[in-house]
């Protein structure tokens, strides 16, 4: 999901993840997009700064960088993939919307 200028549409990405049942500020965080309190010590994070996207995993205050790229599609792919993995590990018995796709 990109804007007309080719940048990643962060609001649309957050809305898409929330629609799947993922919790913003619980399962994922996108910086400089919305105010909120991080209620989880383990979550996926995404930021855009100086023309680059950064995706990282945060657990107990420790950051593990997963991707640093100028490509919005790569940043989105890595962010969504790892957010999905985190949520599925957190709730292994729950069925998610993408489970219904063939």
CA dihedral 69, 74, 76, 80 (to 10 degrees): -120
Q: Which of 43, 34, 39 is nearest to 12 (CA)?
A: 34
Average of per-residue pLDDT across 69-91: 94
For the segment 42-70, the average pLDDT, to the nearest whole number, is 94
pLDDT at 100 over 60: no
Between the alpha carbon of residue 7 and those of residues 2, 61, 102, the distances in Å are: 5, 28, 29
CB 37 within 8 A of CB 20: no
Enter the pTM of the model: 0.84
The pLDDT of residue 50: 93
pLDDT value at 18 more than 90:
yes
Query: Looking at the predicted structure, is the pLDDT value of residue 45 above 80?
Result: yes
- Report domain extents, the chain: 10-90
- Token pair 């989105």 is found at 76
pLDDT at 29 over 50: yes
Selected residue with higher pLDDT from 99 and 38:
38
């Amino acid at each position: 999901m990109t804007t007309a200028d080719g940048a990643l549409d962060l609001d649309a990405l957050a809305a898409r993840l929330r629609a799947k049942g993922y919790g913003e500020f619980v399962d994922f965080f996108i910086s400089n997009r919305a105010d909120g309190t991080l209620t989880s010590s383990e979550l996926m994070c995404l930021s855009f700064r100086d023309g680059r996207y950064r995706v990282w995993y945060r657990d107990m205050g420790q950051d593990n960088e997963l991707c640093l790229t100028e490509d919005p599609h790569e940043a989105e792919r890595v962010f969504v993939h790892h957010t999905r993995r985190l949520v599925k590990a957190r709730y292994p018995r729950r069925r998610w919307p993408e489970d219904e796709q063939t």
